[in-house]
Chains A and B, each alone.
Chain A
Amino acid sequence: MAAMRRESGLRALIRKLRWIHAAPLLAVLTLTAWAFASPVGASPDDDFHLVSAWCALGGSDACGPGTQESTRWVSVAFDSATCFSQVSTESAACQDDAGLELDGAMSETDRGNFQSEYPGVYYATMHMFAGDDLERSALVMRLVNLTLFVGLATSLAVLLPQSRRQTLLWGWLISLVPLGLFLIPSNNPSGWSVTGVGTAFLALLGWFEGTGRRRWALGALYVVGIVMAAGARGDAAIYAAGATIVASVLTVVLRREWLLRAILPLAGLAVIAVLLLTSRQAGVGVHGFGVGVGGTVAVPGIGDAESAPTGGIALAAYNLLMLPYLWTGVWGTWALGWFDTMLPAIVPWAAGAAFIVVGFAGFGLLTKRKAVAIAGVVAVLVVLPVYVLTAGGNTVGNQVQPRYLLPLIVLFALLLVTAPPGSRTVRFTRFQTFTILGALSLANLVALQVNIRRYVTGADQQGLNLDSGVEWWWAGLPVGPTAVWLIGAASFAALLAVLGPELRRKVVAP
């Protein structure tokens, strides 16, 4: 009897399953493919970030104290892992020659978060997964990070009302391809900045607009969001504060209820400030990026043309006019990885066009306070990079990387597609929706292929088949490069297909 009842319960559960329920799984698959698409050490400054993870919470076997406060004795593997960086024709096979064993040679380094340049939460969390096997540990960290993202997005989607669920979906979709998809499942704290800022904004919006138990759950997610962002990077702390302010501005009503609820974001701002004060990245705002922030790399590419000016107002004007190049870096005008994975023009224009049309439709749904919020975010997006670059004597293309701005662009996207109360949400005809999702899926497909190609053979070999002539792949992984590409591309396309009905639903914001 009991078994039968259980069986009919299972059947009832299965009957209740909708395609949308597969979305988290498909998202996990997409990001997992991206996690396996790059070798250890592939994201910018990963030697710094890996060392910082292993050295966090008092260090480990692979990280002992150095001769000075500002140095540590660390395994050379952390540096060797990045042997391919900035040489796009060099495959990741050079890692084998260099060796990735953590118990091998050690050397003293100052490249790591030894002086609290970055807040400690991200590295400390990652430290929990830092074992004796560099590759395995790094992969586990990547999987943890992507699970966090999908888990948070899924919880938010469940907790938020339909109109805000659309905000979440559109906002994330149009801002994450390809740089976000590369960073979220990576060993780079920028992944947490992205996840954290977007989560904090959506959750706080829900906190103000929701009721009952959902509201408290959303409040908890808001705290998770700000801790992730402000615990990962100093600039992300500022963005998290921005997300807090924007969500509050959007919902503000000067009544007792709102003021009571505003205690949470106020406490949030205090938490953010405390986390910011634990890091020294705050100095960046004053000095520009020129000085020792996590040892940034030189960026090859368009920016440094012969006509670039060298100082003052001319430099500011140049940076202002070149700014879209920095922004659009998140859609692929900048190369991925250590700026050595150049993406073909189809990626930035497909992904960028998706952002433009969705953002523009959101721009059509405006109230005064949304306009104020948009003006504020755009002002930061313009002034911050131009000021920081110009103060540091740099031109667009150097020092300030698109990934620093990505959380802000996520916030911008989310804000744009937030329907004002009583207004319909952003919605397109069937064919328009298909065009947008098709463009995103195409951008993902191409970017993932180019990214894997760059590491398995280097960019000097090309071709559709990623398996032929591979010089590098994950040791012991039964799934080959082409399979990872197809899984990642197909599951992202499937994810978009599953989300289609949700995105097309006619909804009016509460």
Chain B
Amino acid sequence: MPTMRKKAGLLRLIGRLRWIHVAPLFAVLTLTAWAFASPVGASPDDDYHLVSTWCALGGSDACQPTADEQFRYVSTAFHSVTCYALVSTRSAACQDQAGLALDGAKNETYRGNFQHKYPGVYYGTMRLFAGDDLQRSALVMRLFNAAVFVGLATALSVLLNVSRRQTLLWGWLVSLVPLGVFLIPSNNPSGWAITGVGTAFLALLGWFESSGKRRWALGALYVVGIVMAAGARGDAAVYAAGATIVASLLTAGMRREWFLRSILPLAGLIVIGLLFLTTMQTDVGLQGFAGAGSAAVPGLGGGSVPGLGGGSTKPTGGLALAAYNLLMLPYLWTGVWGTWALGWFDTVLPAVVPWAAGAAFVAVAFAGIGLLNRRKATAIAGVLAVLIVLPVYLLTVGGDAVGGQLQPRYLLPLIVLLALVLVTAPPGSRTVRFTRLQTFAILGALALANLVALQVNIRRYVTGTDRQGLNLDSGAEWWWPGLQVGPMAVWLIGSISFAALLAALWPELRRKVVEPLNEASGNFTHVISQNN
């Protein structure tokens, strides 16, 4: 009897399953494919970040103190892993020669978070997964980070009302391909900065707009978001504060209820402030980015931007430099859609990636501009102002031109915030919605961008870019030792599950929804009709 009842219960559960319920699984698969698409050390400054992880919370076998506070004795493996960095024709096979054993040779280094340049939460958390096997540990960290992103996004989708769920989906989709999907499942704190800022904005919006238990759960997610962002990078702390302010502004009503609820964001700002003060990245605001141990940007950037306004015309100081940076700014922004190379700026993406992913952003964001009220306009103006002034100021103060020092990944959390704000429907307004073919065009463009970017990314590491071809398995010089699944399979899994994810999300994105007028009544969102 009990087994039968259990079986009937299971059947009922299966009966209730909808395609949308598979979405988290597809998202995990997509990000897992990206986690395996790059070898250890592949994201910018990963030698720095890996060392910082192993040295966090008092260090480990692979990281010992030295007499000098600014240095540590660390395994040379952390440096060796990046042997292919900046040389796009070199595959990751050079790691085998260099050796990735953590118990091998050690040397003294200053490249690590020894002076609190970065906040400690990210490295402290990653330290929990830092074991004796560098590759295995790094992979576990990546999978953990991917799971955290998908877990938070799923929890938010469940807790938010239908209209805000669309905000979440469109906002994340149009801002994460390809740089976001590269960074989230990586060993780079930029991944947390992205996850944290977006989560904090959505959760706080929900905190103000919903009621009951959901509200408290959303409040908790807000706290998770700001701690992740402000605990990963100093600039992300500033963005988290921005997300807090924007969400508060969008929902502000001068009533007792709102003031009571705004205690949470106020407390949030204090937490952010505290985390920010634990870092020294604050200096960046004054001195430009030159100090924070960042990689020189070759090719598209530093010396000469091929094609785009680079070379001989670059000014060297003052107003002219500011003007140049202002006019070249879109090149920095669009870096998140792939005008900049991935990894150590050595994985150049073909033009179809930035134009497909960028066009998806432009089309969706523009539809969002069509749904405007005064406070949303103010919020957009504010975020845009930061997106313009911050990079232009930092670059110009540091004497740099667009392409040097300041990388798109620093701005990505802010672009995520911009995307989310743009697709936030004002109260009483319908949400962003497209015809069936338009929706197909947008999602198709995103799936295409992901497909191409993932292939190019894997190709760059298995053979280097000096070999090309569809088949990633043939002539592979490097792959994860002991992994049953080959490069080709990882590519196919990653691109198919992303396409499947988009297909599963389709009905949700096409649903006709009106954001409720009453700001604190998220439960009463009425779905006008399913589909069409």
Contact = CB atoms under 8 A, between A and B. Distances in A.
B324 interface: yes
Contacts of B91: none
B369 interface: yes
Contacts of A357: 362-363, 366
A462 B319 CA distance: 11
A275 B311 CA distance: 43
A115 interface: no
A340 B327 CA distance: 18
Interface in B450-468: 452, 465-466, 468
A346 B465 CA distance: 30
Most interface-central of B306, B350, B437 (chain A CB within 10 A): B350
A325 B351 CA distance: 6
B390 to A, nearest CB: 17
Given A324-B351, A325-B351, A345 B452 contact: no
Contacts of A322: 350-352
A459 B312 CA distance: 7
B352 A323 contact: yes
Contacts of A333: 307-308
A318 B350 contact: yes
B452 A321 contact: yes
Interface stretch (A15-23, A301-309, A468-476): A301-309
Contacts of A342: 307-311, 313
Contacts of A323: 351-352
A509 interface: no
B435 A364 contact: yes
A435 B352 CA distance: 25
A432 interface: yes
A345 B301 CA distance: 13
B88 to A, nearest CB: 7
Interface string A328-371: 10000111000000111110111011001100100110100001
Interface residues of A, number: 51
Contacts of B312: 88-89, 459-460
Interface residues on B, range: 35 or more
B329 A432 contact: no
A459 B351 contact: no
Interface string B389-420: 00000000000001000000000000000000
Interface in B312-343: 312-313, 315, 320, 323-324, 326-331, 334
Nearest to A308: B468
Interface string B421-440: 00000000000001101100
A345 B351 contact: no
A334 to B, nearest CB: 8
A365 B87 CA distance: 47
A309 B468 contact: yes
A320 B356 CA distance: 13
Contacts of B323: 464
Contact of A321 (B331, B352, B366): B352
B477 to A, nearest CB: 16
A327 B363 CA distance: 18
Given A307-B465, A333-B308, A460-B312, A356 B362 contact: yes
A464 B363 CA distance: 33
A299 B350 CA distance: 18
A459 B314 CA distance: 9
A58 interface: no
A324 B309 contact: no
A323 B311 CA distance: 24
B89 interface: yes
Contacts of A464: 323
A473 B257 CA distance: 67
B212 interface: no
B2 interface: no
A306 B320 CA distance: 33
Given A89-B312, A321-B452, A363-B441, A346 B328 contact: yes
A432 B350 contact: no
A429 interface: yes
B359 interface: yes
Contact of A459 (B313, B326, B348, B355): B313
Interface in B266-325: 306-313, 315, 320, 323-324
A372 interface: no
Contacts of B466: 306-307
Contacts of A343: 308-309
B434 A364 contact: yes
Contacts of A317: 470
A292 interface: no
A114 interface: no
A302 B526 CA distance: 50
Nearest to B438: A364
Interface string A292-303: 000000000110
Contacts of A478: none
Contacts of A429: 369-370, 372
A346 B327 contact: yes
Given A348-B330, A366-B437, 5 more contacts: A301-B307, A314-B468, A328-B355, A349-B358, A364-B437
Interface of A: 88-89, 301-302, 305-307, 309, 314, 317-318, 320-325, 327-328, 333-335, 342-346, 348-350, 352-353, 356-357, 360, 363-364, 366, 371, 396, 428-429, 431-432, 435, 446, 459-460, 462-464
Interface of B: 88-89, 306-313, 315, 320, 323-324, 326-331, 334, 348, 350-352, 354-356, 358-359, 362-363, 366, 369-370, 372, 377, 402, 434-435, 437-438, 441, 452, 465-466, 468-470
